[in-house]
Amino acid sequence: MKTFEELEINEDIMRSVKELGFTTPFPIQAEAIPVLLRGTDVIGQAHTGTGKTATFGIPMLQNILHGGGIQGLVIAPTRELAMQITEEIKKVGKYTKIKVVTVYGGQGIGVQLDALRRKPEIVVATPGRLIDHLDNGSIRTDDIKHVVLDEADVMLDMGFIEDIEYVLQKVPANRITSLFSATMPPEILRLSDKYLNNPKNILIDSDDLSGEGIDQSFLVIKDREKHKYLTDFINQNRGQVIVFCSTKIRTRNVARDLQKSRYKVVAIEGDMSQNKREYSMMKFRKNQADVLVATDVAARGIDVPKVGLVVNYDVPNQDMVYFHRIGRTARAGAKGRAITLVSYSSIADWKIIKKQIKSDLTDLNKKMGIEVHIPDPLKRDVGRRIAQPMRSGYGRRPSYGGRSRPSYGGRSRPSYGGGRSRDGPARDQYKRRSSARASYGRQGRDSKKKW
* pLDDT at position 8 over 90: no
User: Which secondary-structure segment (H or E) carries 178?
Assistant: strand 176-180
> Which of these, 65, 56, 11, lies nearest to 34 by C-alpha position?
56
| pLDDT range class, residue 174, cuts 50, 70, 90 | very high
**261, 231 Cβ separation under 8 angstroms:** yes
* pLDDT at position 394 over 50: no
Q: What is the mean pLDDT of residues 131-159?
A: 92
pLDDT at 447: 36
pLDDT at 318: 77
> Which of these, 180, 135, 44, lies nearest to 422 by C-alpha position?
135
Spatial separation of the C-alpha atoms in residues 195 and 211, rounded to whole Å: 32
pLDDT at 159: 87
| pLDDT range class, residue 10, cuts 50, 70, 90 | very high
Q: Which residues of 312-328 are buried (b: 16+ CB within 10 A; e: fewer)?
A: bbbbbbbbbbbbbbbbb
User: Which secondary-structure segment (H or E) carries 435?
Assistant: helix 434-437
pLDDT at 304: 76
| pLDDT range class, residue 404, cuts 50, 70, 90 | very low
User: Which secondary-structure segment (H or E) carries 385?
Assistant: helix 376-387
> Which of these, 58, 72, 67, 64, lies nearest to 14 by C-alpha position?
58
Mean pLDDT of the chain: 81
pLDDT at 67: 86
pLDDT at 380: 55
Residue 4 corresponds to which amino acid?
Answer: F
Q: Give the pLDDT confidence of 380-390 residue by residue, as tens digits.
A: 555 555 444 44
Contacts 24+ apart (CB under 8 A), 351-354: 351/386, 352/319, 352/386, 352/389, 352/390, 353/315, 353/316, 353/319, 353/322, 354/218
**Which of 13-17, 274-278, 440-444 is the least confident region?**
440-444
| pLDDT range class, residue 224, cuts 50, 70, 90 | very high
Backbone angles phi, psi at 386, to 5 degrees: -70, -30
Three-state DSSP class for 256? helix
- Higher pLDDT among residues 151 and 432, named by residue: 151
Q: What is the mean pLDDT of residues 240-254?
A: 94
pTM reported for the whole predicted model: 0.61
Spatial separation of the C-alpha atoms in residues 262 and 42, rounded to whole Å: 48
Q: What is the mean pLDDT of residues 293-305?
A: 73
**240, 306 Cβ separation under 8 angstroms:** yes
Question: 346 CB contacts (<8 Å, ≥6 apart)?
Answer: 314, 315
In the chain, the percentage of residues whose pLDDT exceeds 70 is 78
**Which of 66-70, 157-161, 287-291 is the least confident region?**
157-161
Structural domains of the chain ordered from first start: 4-203 (3.40.50.300), 214-355+357-391 (3.40.50.300)
* pLDDT at position 77 over 80: yes
* pLDDT at position 371 over 50: yes
